């Protein structure tokens, strides 16, 4: 099936590694052009170079107030258009309620929540009918994940924001979608597993609770993201799609 992504232009944040990078790779593989971001200038440049001529990198922190305008401008300058954005941010620091400080909460709110809101708000003002705004969230939208208290606090709020945005932008022909990754085999998930006394046993226990009995590959998540962002998904909006091997058992 042709997803209709050829020459469409997307901004993908947090795309130097992990789920953002996997999504950018699949978009480019299907003919799209991408502006990718990250906080480290060299890593951004290296990641863009790996993606080839249909990618350009811009060093931006999601918490930067002027970042959204810079990214949309980069998309128009380098590729002559702007068709959508995928807002992906690194996970906030792990910890339980007693562990996380006010400073960690404030920093995570600025980057994970307010930064995503700013990006979406700017994109909404710039997109034409057929445009799309996507969010990479987490299974914690539906069920808290032990040891990720800050994420548990912020991700559900972003899902609510995304649903509200879908209602507001629908009459303009602009879609809003969310993806809820489960245990995808990224650096972030391996780092979380490594916090336990026995990372291999932790992974095995996690896999035993996944109906497909394995962690997902980053490219599997990336393909799901590329589809939801594509014109092939033109009648899908306001959804939160679990990409978790069947872990979520609710409807």
**pLDDT (0 to 100) of residue 124:** 98
Average pLDDT over all residues of the chain: 94
The residue assigned the tokens 């291999």 is 200
- Per-residue pLDDT of 47-60, as tens digits, reads 999 999 999 999 99
**pLDDT (0 to 100) of residue 200:** 92
- Per-residue pLDDT of 109-152, as tens digits, reads 998 999 999 999 999 999 999 999 999 999 889 888 888 899 89
Cβ distance 175 to 233 under 8 Å? yes
CA gap 238, 178 in Å, rounded = 8
Q: Is the pLDDT reported for residue 18 higher than 90?
A: yes
CA gap 235, 215 in Å, rounded = 29
Q: Is the pLDDT reported for residue 95 higher than 90?
A: no
Indicate the pTM of the whole model: 0.94
CA gap 142, 161 in Å, rounded = 15
Q: Is the pLDDT reported for residue 195 higher than 90?
A: no
The residue assigned the tokens 């969010």 is 135
Is residue 194 exposed (0-12), middle (13-18) or buried (19+ Cβ within 10 Å)?
exposed
């Amino acid at each position: 099936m042709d997803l209709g992504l050829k020459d469409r232009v997307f901004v993908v944040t947090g795309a130097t590694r992990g789920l953002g990078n996997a999504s950018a790779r699949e978009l480019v593989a299907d003919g799209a052009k991408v502006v990718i971001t990250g906080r480290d200038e060299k890593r951004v440049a290296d990641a863009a170079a790996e993606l080839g001529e249909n990618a350009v990198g811009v060093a931006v922190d999601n918490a930067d107030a002027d970042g959204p305008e810079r990214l949309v401008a980069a998309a128009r300058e380098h590729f002559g258009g702007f068709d959508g954005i995928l807002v992906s941010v690194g996970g906030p620091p792990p910890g339980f309620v007693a562990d996380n400080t006010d400073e960690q909460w404030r920093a995570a709110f600025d980057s994970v929540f307010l930064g995503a809101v700013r990006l979406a708000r700017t994109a909404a003002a710039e997109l034409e009918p057929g445009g799309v705004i996507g969010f990479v969230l987490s299974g914690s939208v539906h069920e808290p994940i032990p040891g990720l208290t800050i994420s548990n606090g912020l991700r559900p709020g972003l899902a609510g924001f995304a649903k509200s945005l879908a209602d507001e932008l629908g009459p303009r022909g602009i879609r809003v979608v969310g993806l809820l990754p489960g245990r995808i085999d990224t650096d972030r998930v391996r780092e979380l597993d490594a916090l336990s006394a026995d990372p291999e046993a932790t992974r095995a226990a996690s896999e035993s609770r996944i109906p497909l009995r394995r962690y997902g590959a980053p490219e599997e998540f990336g393909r799901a993201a590329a589809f939801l962002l594509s014109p092939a998904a033109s009648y899908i909006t306001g959804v939160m799609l679990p990409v978790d091997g069947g872990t979520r058992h609710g409807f």
